[in-house]
Amino acid sequence: MREIIITCALTGSIHTPSMSPYLPVTADEITAAGIRAAEAGAAILHLHARDPETGRPSADPAHFRAFLPLLKQGCDAVLNLSTGGSAVMSLEQRLAAPKEAAPEMASLNMGTMNFALYPMAERITDWRHDWEKPFLEGSDDLVFKNTPRDIARILTELGQERGARFEFECYDLSHLYMLRHFADRGLIRAPYFIQFVFGVLGGMGADPENLTHMVRIADKLFGGDYMFSVLAAGRHQMPMAAMAAAMGGHVRVGLEDSLMIARGQLARSNAEQVEKVRGIVEALGREVASPQQARELLRLKGAARTAF
Ligand code: KMH
Ligand code: ZN
């Protein structure tokens, strides 16, 4: 079996500063978190930006510009920019920074969906910022929009025009069929790197049967033309990653997807989660991919051809 690519998603747009003091927010924090995660074994860093004053998810290219060159200097990991941003952002806003940066990789959510974060609000008693509570509670009536037209636009403007390749985020079986549709339209090239996403309210739950079924259908739709990786939200993160590693898949961890390192215990850093999953991977007799090996597996254009 091939090496396992560990992706680390450093901060995301789901969790808010009140939930953990360890969530990276400023450019310096995101840079330091990324470098440490890469040293621990992450070959890919999945990136979102935040407003350094408020910790709110940000699509402002200036906030990305503040850490992208520093991360590039500080480590060799593949820098993967989110095009999902946050459900409250327009596609125009979500695309601004990736278009400017022309990264090697970008995330791409394969459908429109509910992205319900509001149950998390009930657990917080001390709010650090005014925006957090309405941001989480408002997700009971919020649509994350990625229509086929949006997906085609992202593929064209980032993939075809800027040479990015994609982390295809599939939250449900239906998203695999949408991905096949774009392969049939000739808008994407194999090998496809498919990120199965479990445990987001609005997407599939973190049940092992869902993982085996996703693999079964992806095998049918893509044959040998794809690789899968697994991310699972919250407490499901490590068990589902272990399952993915045992099944020949890749893994994603990071504070974007879970703030914990064990039951009732906050992770003190992204690197801590990378170290933990690395231990699982190696205990299963699999090797962790270096950034260079990840570039070869995913056929990336190389860090020298980005615009930052
Ligand atoms: N936090 C993940 C569940 C994106 O950035 O495009 C979703 C995500 C979306 O990573
Ligand atoms: Zn993300």
- Distance in angstroms between the alpha carbons of the first and the last residue of the chain: 34
- The model scores a pTM over 0.85: yes
What's the total number of domains in the chain? 1
Pocket of ligand 1 (CB under 6 A): 9, 12, 14, 82-84, 107, 109, 169, 197, 200, 256-257
User: How high is the pLDDT of residue 1?
Assistant: 64
Q: Cα–Cα distances in Å, from 135 out to 142, 213, 259, 266?
A: 10, 33, 18, 22
Q: Whose CA is nearest to atom 2 of ligand 1?
A: 257
Average pLDDT, the chain: 98
The ligand 1 atom nearest the CA atom of 13:
1
**Cα torsion angle, 250, 253, 258, 262, sign:** positive
For 247-303, the pLDDT digits (tens) are 999 999 999 999 999 999 999 999 999 999 999 999 999 999 999 999 999 999 999
Domain extent, residue 43, equals 3-305
What are the tens digits of pLDDT across the range 62-100?
Answer: 999 999 999 999 999 999 999 999 999 999 999 999 999
> Among 16, 109, 175, which is best to mutate for testing ligand 1, by the most ligand atoms less than 8 A from CB?
109
Query: Contact, 86 vs 51, CB < 8 A?
Result: no
> For the residues of 44-85, what is the DSSP string, one character each?
EEEE-EE-TTT--EE--HHHHHTTHHHHHHH---EEEE-S--
How far, in Å, from the CA of 100 to the mean position of ligand 2?
Answer: 18
Quick one: which atom of ligand 1 is closest to the CA of 107? 6
Residue 299 alpha carbon to ligand 2 centre in Å: 21
* pLDDT tens for each residue of 111-134: 999 999 999 999 999 999 999 999
CA distance 158 to 142: 26
pLDDT confidence tier of residue 2, bands split at 50, 70 and 90? confident
| Ranges assigned E (strand) in the chain | 6-9, 44-47, 49-50, 57-58, 78-81, 105-109, 113-114, 143-144, 165-170, 192-198, 226-232, 250-253, 260-262, 265-266
Sign of the Cα pseudo-torsion (40, 44, 45, 46, in order): negative
Read off the tokens for 41: 């074994």
* Type and span of the H or E element at 291: helix 291-298
Residue having the nearest C-alpha atom to atom 9 of ligand 1: 84
CA of 170 to the centre of ligand 1 (A): 10
Residue 204, domain CATH: 3.20.20.70
Kindly state the percentage of the chain with pLDDT values over 70.
100
